[in-house]
Structure 1
Amino acid sequence: MRIRALLALTAVAASLSACATADRYDAAGDVHALLTAIRNNDRATFDSLVDHRALTGAVETRLVEEARRSGAKGGWQAAMIALAGPAADVAGAALIRPEVFRAAANYYGYTPDKPIPGRIAIASALRPTGDGRVCAAKKDGPCMLTFTREGGSWRLSGFDAQAVNLQLKR
């Protein structure tokens, strides 16, 4: 009886592992296309592979968290929180562009002088997050970029601003 239970658990674990691997491989194609769009400054392709609303929402959430941590008094904290949405919209328009994300691509080693790795290499850098998403992380490092399946493609839906120092290149 124990052997059957062990075999059943092994089969379930193997099938879940296969799903995670399939998601990583599937997402790797769109991540490759995003990296290519970033390298080539292809705004149309970049925009199709980025969830602007989710990224702007993440910026707004971060601004609200910072406002709450600020300890500002006399209504200033409430004002900061009220302005988080409009500030996130402005920041999103300024920061969610291929040239800004080039810094993240460079961090991963995808510099303009090197070819972008293929799908299998990219898939090996993706980690399932357990909620139907995958994230890009260096070996044993933090999840820096998060991708969510939307319809038939994977789109960039989140980033860890503390893990990646994304700056506009002037």
Structure 2
Amino acid sequence: MRIRALLALTAAAASLSACATADRYDAAGDVHALLTSIRNNDRAAFDSLVDHQALKGALETRMVEEARKSGLKGGWQAAAIALAGPAADFAGSALIRPEVFRAAANYYGYTPDKPIPGRIAIASALRPAGDGRVCAAKKDGPCMLTFTREGATWRLSGFDAQAVNLQLKR
């Protein structure tokens, strides 16, 4: 009985692992297409592979968190929180563009002078992030870019704020 339970548990773990690997490989095709659109400054392809609303929502959340931590007094904190939505819309329009994400691509080594790696190499840089998402990270590093499956397409749905800071500091 114990052997059957152990075999069943092993089979379940292998099945989940295979699913995660399949997701990473599947997502790698769209990540490759996103990297190509960034390198080529192809706005239409970029926009089709980016969830603008999710990214703007992440910007708004970050702005609200910063406003709450700021210690502003006399209603200024409430005003900053109230302005987070419109500010995120404006910032999203300004920042969610191929040329801004080129800094993140450069961070991962996808510079214009090098060919973009194939699907298998990209899949090896992706890791499961839960809830049907995968994220791109350097080995043992933090997730910088998060991708979510929407139908048959994996779209960029989240990013580490440091990716934007890299571009703004230049």
Quickly name the TM-score band, shorter chain normalised. Answer: over 0.9
Distance across 2 between alignment mates of 1:87 and 1:163: 18
Measured against aligned partners, the alpha-carbon deviations of 1:82-136 in whole angstroms (never above 9, x if no partner) come to 0000000010000000000000000000000000000000000000012110000
Distance across 2 between alignment mates of 1:166 and 1:96: 14
Distance across 1 between alignment mates of 2:168 and 2:151: 31
Q: Is the 8 A contact 2:103 2:163 kept in 1?
A: no
The Cα of 1:164 is off from its aligned counterpart by 5.9
Distance across 2 between alignment mates of 1:157 and 1:71: 30
Q: Is the 8 A contact 2:41 2:99 kept in 1?
A: yes
The Cα of 1:168 is off from its aligned counterpart by 5.2
Superposed counterparts of 1:102-121, under 5 Å: 102-121=102-121
TM-score by length of 1: 0.97
Distance across 1 between alignment mates of 2:72 and 2:24: 43
Q: Is the 8 A contact 1:134 1:148 kept in 2?
A: yes
The Cα of 1:46 is off from its aligned counterpart by 0.1
Q: Secondary structure at the match of 2:143?
A: coil
The Cα of 1:166 is off from its aligned counterpart by 3.8
Change (3 A) 1:163 1:112: closer
Measured against aligned partners, the alpha-carbon deviations of 1:20-66 in whole angstroms (never above 9, x if no partner) come to 00000000000000000000000000000000000000000000000
Distance across 1 between alignment mates of 2:163 and 2:55: 15
Q: Which runs of 5+ in 2 are unaligned?
A: none
Distance across 2 between alignment mates of 1:75 and 1:148: 37
Q: Which runs of 5+ in 1 are unaligned?
A: none
Q: Secondary structure at the match of 1:29?
A: helix
More helix by share: 2
Distance across 2 between alignment mates of 1:35 and 1:167: 16
Are 2:5 and 1:8 aligned? no
In the alignment, which residue of structure 1 is the partner of 2:59?
Answer: 59
TM-score by length of 2: 0.97
Q: Secondary structure at the match of 2:163?
A: coil
The Cα of 1:163 is off from its aligned counterpart by 6.0
Q: Secondary structure at the match of 1:83?
A: helix
Change (3 A) 1:158 1:68: same
Q: Is the 8 A contact 2:28 2:120 kept in 1?
A: yes
Q: Please report the RMSD computed on the Cα atoms of aligned residues, expressed in angstroms.
A: 1.3
